[in-house]
Structure 1
Amino acid sequence: MEPIHTIGVFLRPLTHSLKQYFFEFQDLATSLGFEVVLESISAKMIGIEGLDFESVCHKSDALLSIGGDGTLISVARRSFIHQKPILGINMGNLGFLTDLQKEEVETFFPLLKSGNYNIANHMMLEGSINGDCFFALNDIILRHINNGSMIHLKASIDGEYFNSYYGDGLIIATPTGSTAYNISAGGAVVYPFSYNLLLTPICPHSLTQRPLVLPGEFEVDIEVGNNEECNVVIDGQENKLLKPNQCIHIKALKSGVKLIHNPHWNYFKILRQKFHWGE
């Protein structure tokens, strides 16, 4: 792997308590020979100057999120076109993506400097509505604009009508996102480095509507029914409106998000710990 010299840092929003840790991290990283640049919104939160998002991405060899999985997902979505490797320092509970703990930074970061680290490719979704394109690392969720109301969705696969869903909504998830909302809705847990599309209905009106796992080569179009509006939720962080008879086009991208994982990272160990399996 390419040696990393400059790190662009993003802090979990509205978490002023990260100020002390950021300066501790900055001192440590600088002592190890890294240049640290802080994104402007994060910098403003802790009362210092920073660089705008695009400048951070252009200047950095790798991006670092300090927070939880949500912070890392936000950085991944927004920086995807720059294809920079991303590492997350976990500041909360056990995370699936932010697996590096604070106490591991001092021993792990020299490996970044020497290029002795691994990158895992996590599949991304690209969605588009009337030419407006966006990316999702976990999932794209379609729900009625009025929470609590059922919605009628018509799905096509590779341009051919496939199914109509009537219920609380539909989740289109990546393997990485299979352990997010997807698992709560009864969807399958899929190994995160698989290349699949997951379609999981949310509380369907018909018991015959079951979760579906597709090869990632398929593309999906979903149209909202007559006189209905649909709320499109992207990774739980961004909302878009799908109007009556409009269509959302969703496909898996072969070039995914490049995440740097702790060398001791073990997906099945995290599953066991997160969901208390085997206890």
Structure 2
Amino acid sequence: MHRVGIIANPARPVVAGLIPELVRLVTSRSGKPTLAADLAASASEAVARGECVVVDSDERAVEGVDWVIAIGGDGTLLKTARLVGASGTPILGVNSGKLGFMMQTTPGDLGDALGRVFDGRYTLDKRLVLEGRIANDVFSALNDIVIDKGAICRVIELGIYINDEYVNDVMADGLIVSTPTGSTAYSLAAGGPILAPDMEAIVVSPICPHTLSNRAMVLAARDRIRIEVRADHPDLLLTVDGQENVVIQPGSTVELYRADHTIHLIRFTDRSFYDVLRTKLKWGER
């Protein structure tokens, strides 16, 4: 029996309407859905029949399952990636949001997608994860880690070192350090390049640099990055995957490097990364 975790935002109307059908589809293939109590309220009949495992949090909904369904946009998938962490549990993204670069299917195609997964007709994309450290605090990101000037409308100075070699001082609104997965997110908006998701690389993109010669850099995944924060005002922000904010102070040192684990995304072979780019970025349209 497959144990299938389900992660979604129960406040979204589309989610409330989708959960009963999703539970039915999973149980019809002898699967056992596991979901948090607030999400299970949308499938009360299935819960009453004992067809679901109801737990008290999303953290517990991904424990001990064979794979996880994340329903929403890229933010929901990023949250799910943080929940599964280094466990290697595969994630199937179902796009009910707007852009959904990382999502593999839609609510309308959910029956077919679940059938493929239950039958083993899929591949796993093993996505590079970025790790950051400030003193004894460690953070992991599937998309990016961003150093931002915070609420003060003033550029900040950041010293960049790679493998302990000084590279440059950047005067900018901030700095984005992204994985190949995150290259289509904030880094892209800041003028960074698009990387194929299976590349072994890390992108460093300044945000609105004061000097036009300060451009995005593509580094090897094995490189270790050190950022020295030389701003003269407090309450700068370090943001992890757009979901966790950490206040950092002038004089702080941020170390960034490839994590030891990867995140596994379920993929179907009939839809390539370039299909996604054409669709999401509307390439080729006139």
Distance in 2 separating the partners of 1:50 and 1:58:
10
Deviation at 1:112, TM superposition (A): 2.3
1:136-215 mapped onto 2 (5 Å cutoff): 136-215=141-220
Conserved? CA contact 1:242–1:248, under 8 Å: no
Distance in 1 separating the partners of 2:241 and 2:71:
18
Q: Which amino acid aligns with 2:239?
A: V
Q: Secondary structure at the match of 1:95?
A: coil
TM-score between both structures, scaled by the size of structure 2: 0.89
Conserved? CA contact 2:179–2:203, under 8 Å: yes
Q: Is the counterpart of residue 74 in structure 1 residue 71 in structure 2?
A: no
1:1-279 mapped onto 2 (5 Å cutoff): 5-12=2-9, 14-40=11-37, 42-43=39-40, 49-225=54-230, 227-229=232-234, 230-253=236-259, 255-279=261-285
Unaligned runs of 5+ in 1: none
Change (3 A) 1:30 1:84: same
Moved more, 234-243 or 105-114: 105-114
**Superposed CA offset, 1:164-221 (max 9, x none):** 1101111101111111111111111111110111011111111111110001110101
Deviation at 1:142, TM superposition (A): 0.8
**Superposed CA offset, 1:41-70 (max 9, x none):** 544788885343443222211111111111
Distance in 2 separating the partners of 1:57 and 1:199:
32
Distance in 2 separating the partners of 1:54 and 1:67:
17
Q: Which amino acid aligns with 1:142?
A: I
Unaligned runs of 5+ in 2: 48-53
Moved more, 221-230 or 157-166: 221-230
Distance in 1 separating the partners of 2:215 and 2:43:
47
Across the aligned residues of Structure 1 and Structure 2, the Cα RMSD in angstroms comes to 2.1
Q: Secondary structure at the match of 2:115?
A: helix
Identity %: 33
Deviation at 1:226, TM superposition (A): 5.0
**Superposed CA offset, 1:6-62 (max 9, x none):** 100011363244112101110121112110010345447888853434432222111
Q: Secondary structure at the match of 1:178?
A: helix
Q: Which amino acid aligns with 1:275?
A: L
Deviation at 1:90, TM superposition (A): 1.1
Conserved? CA contact 1:66–1:91, under 8 Å: yes
**Superposed CA offset, 1:83-133 (max 9, x none):** 211111111335211121223222232332233321011111011111111
Q: Secondary structure at the match of 1:200?
A: strand
How many residue pairs get aligned? The number is 276
Deviation at 1:264, TM superposition (A): 2.1
Moved more, 79-88 or 145-154: 145-154
